[in-house]
Amino acid sequence: MLSAFLQGLATKLVEAILGRLVEWLAPKALRSVPHRASPNCPRCGGYGVARWAPARARAVFLLSLLAFGWGFGFTLLGVPVVVLHLAVTAVSAVREGAGHLLPALLAPLGLLVPGALLIAGAFGLSWYHSHPPRSCARCHGRWPRRERDEYLRSVRSTTYVCGCGQRLRVPRLDGPARLRCPRCGNERATPASPAR
């Protein structure tokens, strides 16, 4: 009875630790992918904003989320298994000879499929996040429908801060531009935007 209780407790503890680890690592792994636009909420900075995206983009998002989750999980669980397998094989190779070393060196190839799933899922998610935000479940912010190209142009624009603290966004231009702050009315010249 006590062993069953301890086994159940250990299982719940491992699940909680893995859940926290995935909850902490997954957004960091997704943010390391070069997004065309930020996956965060423009208002509160939270992750996981609903987007103005067509139905096929939502389907790609769900498939990418599954692929990323499976790839991330199997990579997270597979790396310690491969390292442990290599260590055990190296110890046995020292004792018995180097005959078992070649199959052990092929063990890291088992991480290629989860790694490919992880990368494909991350790029699918980054494509979904290039659509304009619709709503945020965290801060309950809402944004009107916009076209994707217009949204990406505004995201890639340069932001300047006026002396009064107002943020001014300027799309990339060929030459310098003059900005007038809507809050204080000061006018400011901007340097030429870098070429694309």
Section 49-62 average pLDDT: 86
Nearest residue to 39 via CA among 28, 23, 55? 28
Percent of the chain with pLDDT over 70: 74
- C-alpha 129/C-alpha 179 separation (Å) is 30
pTM of the model: 0.57
Q: pLDDT tens-digit profile of 89-117? A: 777 777 776 666 667 777 788 888 888 99
Using an 8 Å Cβ cutoff, are 154 and 62 in contact? no
The one-character DSSP state at 155 is H
Task: Find out whether 57 and 65 touch, Cβ atoms under 8 Å.
Answer: no
Nearest-angstrom CA–CA distance, 29 and 167: 29
pLDDT value at position 194?
Answer: 45
pLDDT of 79 > 70? The answer is yes
